[in-house]
Amino acid sequence: MTTSSQQIQFRQRNRTYYADLERLHQLLVPPGLRVLEVGCGTGDLLAHLQPAHGVGIELDPEVAAVARERHPELRILATNAETMTPQSIGETQPFDVILLPNTLNTLQDVQGVLERLEAFCHPRTRLVVSFHNWLWQPLLKTAERLGQRQPQPPESWLTPNDVRNLLDLASWEVLKEGQRCLIPRQIPLLTPLANRWLSQLPLIDNLGLTHWMVARPARQQRQNPSVSVVIPARNEAGNIVPAIERLPELGRFTEVIFVEGHSSDNTWEEIERVCETYQGPMSLKKFRQTGKGKADAVWLGFDQAEGDVLMILDADLTVRPEDLPRFAQAMADGRGEFVNGCRLVYPRSWEAMPPLNTAANRFFAAAFSWLLRQRLKDTLCGTKVIWKDDYERLKAGRSYFGDFDPFGDFDLLFGASKLNLKIVEVPVRYQERSYGSSNIAHVKEGLILGQMCVYAARKLRFIP
């Protein structure tokens, strides 16, 4: 058995690998959460994540004692993960994140531990699993014999398919996954190049030492939330009445928030008239922008919203208000935590979406699917839906990306991915507008979108 001092020595010897593992988990786990780490060793990874309440489980009592000494702010317990319960470790409140870093391979009963973890979860808990690529088995075993790697108990060399199957059997749903770390030792110039850039390229990424997955509990509770629909409107006077007339009631209570943005027609006057004369079951609110751009209008509406679920409906009504119940249903059933409209499934006229626009949308969809590690078919559909609580978390972490998106679509998608939300798409029948003209400058805004993709790649894929 490896002593605690030897474990620290091995960690120092392989500090390049462990630093890369810390950077990965820092991307996946926001600070200030309740975090449980199974197989915490000396507690360095857990401490690096700055949890509000961090609990580490370590089988070796000596190593657990060293972890407590190194990190007194954490709660480190010497216990067996295969028999623990919330009561046995004195943790009756669920955790926001559960970590299994390089632990699966040494467990006697992987499925049993994954099933046992459900007792430590709430429906929004995220499980972050990392494990060694089975292709590295000969190299790692050789390093172990040469004293360059910490001696291991008998290991199960699990493939990604093995882990996905075990997670599925234990009622966990994989949201996204990836690989990284091509060179676990420091070689000047080569290691940073390989680990940050080359490790994320197609095909080459299959050779990374570290494979990781993010999963959520597959059993989700059905809810009946209230819904706030934010309608940003600029030069859309003719669409205000149809928006209200065609909008169905959503959830247990529906709130509609108009945000007018520096119109040159009588859009604001029409919004005022509709809000004053409306006598239906929905609650109507109205605001005027002081800033500029669609994103600014949406953030104003979201900040003023009182519903559990936040929706965007563009005032041009090219996405039909009649389709919004499907978005609300996907959220209520727990099938998605961020719902994006998709205009590229059903037929649409050239007037609604010219061929060049279609091609651009498909390009950005492919780029986003790679960036976010979740499949997307249409990133630029204006109809997007998120839980109010998740939006508040997204807003609090917006500094990670910065104020870079004047449209709001990318800000929401990047933020949802950073929070490890399950993103789903609802197909809509996209139609041409019946009033006014588009406010989009296609070439200029296309270049801005391209720049944002490059920027996001550095933040989500090629992390330093």
Residue 385's φ and ψ, nearest 5 degrees, are -135, 135
Cα–Cα distance, 454 to 401 (Å, whole number): 12
Q: How far apart are the first and last CA of the chain?
A: 35
* Residue ranges of the chain with per-residue pLDDT less than 70: 1-4, 436-445
What pLDDT does 114 receive? Answer: 98
Cα–Cα distance, 52 to 31 (Å, whole number): 7
What pLDDT does 454 receive? Answer: 86
What pLDDT does 442 receive? Answer: 57
What would the pLDDT profile of 219-242 be if each residue is shown by its tens digit? 998 999 999 999 999 999 999 999
195 DSSP assignment:
I
Residue type, 12: Q
Closest by Cα among 256, 250, 248 to 274: 256
Report the 10 Å Cβ neighbour count for 351.
9
Cα–Cα distance, 19 to 209 (Å, whole number): 13
Q: How many helices (H) and strands (E) does the chain have?
A: 16, 14
- pTM for the whole structure: 0.92
Question: Do β-strands 309-312 and 338-342 pair in parallel, antiparallel, or remain unpaired?
Answer: unpaired
What pLDDT does 356 receive? Answer: 82
Cα–Cα distance, 419 to 423 (Å, whole number): 11
Closest by Cα among 327, 348, 347 to 337: 327
What pLDDT does 272 receive? Answer: 98
> Domains in the chain and their CATH numbers?
4-217 (3.40.50.150), 227-460 (3.90.550.10)
Point out which residues pair with 286 in neighbouring strands.
258
